[in-house]
Amino acid sequence: MNNSLNNNLNNNGRPRVVITGVGVASPNGSNLVEFRAAVLNGVSGIDFQEIRYMGKWPAGTCKFDEYRYQTKKARRRGTRAGAISIYCANEAIIDSKISWKDTDKSRVGVYMGITEHGNVETENEIYELHQNNLNVDLWSHHHNPRTVANNPAGEVTLNLGITGPHYTLGAACAAGNVGLINACQMLQLGEIDFALAGGVSESTHTFGIFAAFKAQGALAFNEIPTIASRPLDVKRNGIVISEGGAILTLERLEDAINRGARIYGEIVGYHINSDSTDFVLPNAERQMDCMSKAIRMAGISADDIDIVSLHATGTDAGDIIECEAVGTIFGNSANVRINGMKDLIGHTMGASGVLELTGNIPSFKDGLIHSFTNVKELDPKCKIRGLVIDGPVKHEVNYILNNSFGMLGINSSLIVKKY
């Protein structure tokens, strides 16, 4: 517990914020128990998927029940990203065990990180347009509400009757962390009392993102789809595109205690910065600055961190630059263990940060740190102290640092502490 005079305030004099519920839709699990078991046992969610105009490519697709929490009519009107968000939000609320019917919905905020949104619907409608002699009369009247940027968060509010604020936060592949950070700040400012926060991606349903990564020479392929995503391995050849989502319920510590909530962990540090150097190539110096400032905010040292969750996409430059940055910050720490998850779930874009954090959170309780799975020959340029590549390891976990970086040089680091 915090040693300040008021245990409900953190080291910076702000209300402490905790995680009280989890909702997950990933390629290898549709709830936290399934997801955690898959991660610990090295179960991949990657398989071949038929991509329009491109044929079969490795991809990660979620297998959750789209109609568990919404009607077929609402699903037809909405979007795949909205369906993932609705599923995860409802699962998180149930998991939090809050009395939803008694909750003031005007004091609930929804903060969803996204990479892009609307591509799926636009591509599908243009395809149908060309199948029907360019007859624009057949263009869907649902197009606008489906493609506006706030759609995934807005669909959640419609589904759950939430009248508080809802935002989507476009932060490329750093977006999952950014959604959590924004929610944390709004709770600390007193703007809301309960938050649904995280990230979502529907990328596997758009050929454009596959074609673009292929044009960049960054789209992974392997005849065996489960080993197509190979971060840190010398034979890695790019990104496996996946969809997914994770939404966490966040509350001020005082409120969580007052209602007797189970607490998964406490958000104690974070930082977001920008490279300002390149559209796609990351910057080790700025990543180091991001991690260092998150650690400083948490009031701890690098030696206190037990898990560093790498962004580790499987691109040559991305993996090498991140390992350089992490190796510089944590190279002298005998305590830290370093893992990643994209070899099992692919790159879930805007959901990746929060999904990967969620996969590590059970470590606080079970003391197990999951491993990279597809590192068969470690790239010497990615060799850093503490890498977990030979199966899960037993280790007491008190602090997790979660890295999530994105195009246009946006970096995010988030630290969660065992409660």
Q: Give pLDDT tens digits for 33-68.
A: 999 999 999 999 999 999 999 999 999 999 999 999
Is 6 a member of any domain?
A: no
Q: What is the span of the domain harbouring residue 232? A: 17-258
Q: Is the pLDDT of residue 289 over 70?
A: yes
Question: Over the stretch 369-398, which tens digit does the pLDDT of each residue have?
Answer: 999 999 999 999 999 999 999 999 999 999
SS3 363: helix
Question: Looking at the structure, do residues 220 and 338 belong to the same domain, yes or no?
Answer: no
Contacts of residue 323, Cβ cutoff 8 Å, sequence gap at least 6: 232, 310, 381, 382, 383, 384
* Amino acid 5: pLDDT: 40
Nearest-angstrom CA–CA distance, 163 and 194: 12
* Amino acid 3: pLDDT: 41
Residue 168's pLDDT band (cuts 50, 70, 90): very high
Question: Looking at the structure, do residues 152 and 190 belong to the same domain, yes or no?
Answer: yes
Q: Is the pLDDT of residue 1 over 70?
A: no
Lowest mean pLDDT among 62-66, 127-131, 153-157: 127-131
- The CATH number that applies at residue 97 is 3.40.47.10
Is 198 a member of any domain?
A: yes
**Mean pLDDT computed over 330-346:** 97
Question: Looking at the structure, do residues 23 and 166 belong to the same domain, yes or no?
Answer: yes
Domain C-terminal end among 211, 235, 258: 258
156, 85 Cβ separation under 8 angstroms: yes
* Amino acid 119: pLDDT: 87
Is 12 a member of any domain?
A: no
Is 9 a member of any domain?
A: no
Nearest 5°: phi and psi at 112? -110, 120
How many domains, the chain?
2
CA distances to 103, 146, 160, 290 from 100, in Å: 5, 27, 9, 36
For residue 210, give both structure tokens.
């596959």
Question: Looking at the structure, do residues 208 and 329 belong to the same domain, yes or no?
Answer: no
Question: Looking at the structure, do residues 204 and 344 belong to the same domain, yes or no?
Answer: no
Question: Looking at the structure, do residues 143 and 29 belong to the same domain, yes or no?
Answer: yes
Lowest mean pLDDT among 4-18, 19-33, 330-344: 4-18
**Mean pLDDT computed over 67-86:** 96
Is 10 a member of any domain?
A: no
In the sheet with 55-60, reading across from the earlier edge strand, the strands are 46-51, 55-60, 241-242
Average pLDDT, the chain: 96
Is 321 a member of any domain?
A: yes
Nearest-angstrom CA–CA distance, 51 and 125: 16
Question: Looking at the structure, do residues 188 and 276 belong to the same domain, yes or no?
Answer: no
User: What's 313-354 look like in SS3?
Assistant: CCCHHHHHHHHHHHHHHHCCCCCCEEECCHHHHCECHHHHHH
**Mean pLDDT computed over 405-419:** 98
For residue 67, give both structure tokens.
């109609």
CA distances to 47, 119, 344 from 242, in Å: 10, 15, 10
Question: Looking at the structure, do residues 102 and 142 belong to the same domain, yes or no?
Answer: yes
Q: Residue 270's beta-bridge partner residues? A: 414
Question: Looking at the structure, do residues 216 and 246 belong to the same domain, yes or no?
Answer: yes
CB atoms within 10 A of CB 85: 33
**Mean pLDDT computed over 299-324:** 98
Domain C-terminal end among 258, 282, 314: 258
CA atoms within 13 A on the CB side of 340: 28
* Amino acid 2: pLDDT: 41
Question: Looking at the structure, do residues 48 and 103 belong to the same domain, yes or no?
Answer: yes
Question: Looking at the structure, do residues 249 and 319 belong to the same domain, yes or no?
Answer: no
To the nearest 10 degrees (0 to 180), the angle between helices 352-360 and 32-40 is 80
**Mean pLDDT computed over 333-352:** 97
Nearest-angstrom CA–CA distance, 370 and 360: 7
Domain C-terminal end among 226, 258, 290: 258
Is 369 a member of any domain?
A: yes
Is 301 a member of any domain?
A: yes
Question: Looking at the structure, do residues 387 and 303 belong to the same domain, yes or no?
Answer: yes
SS3 378: strand
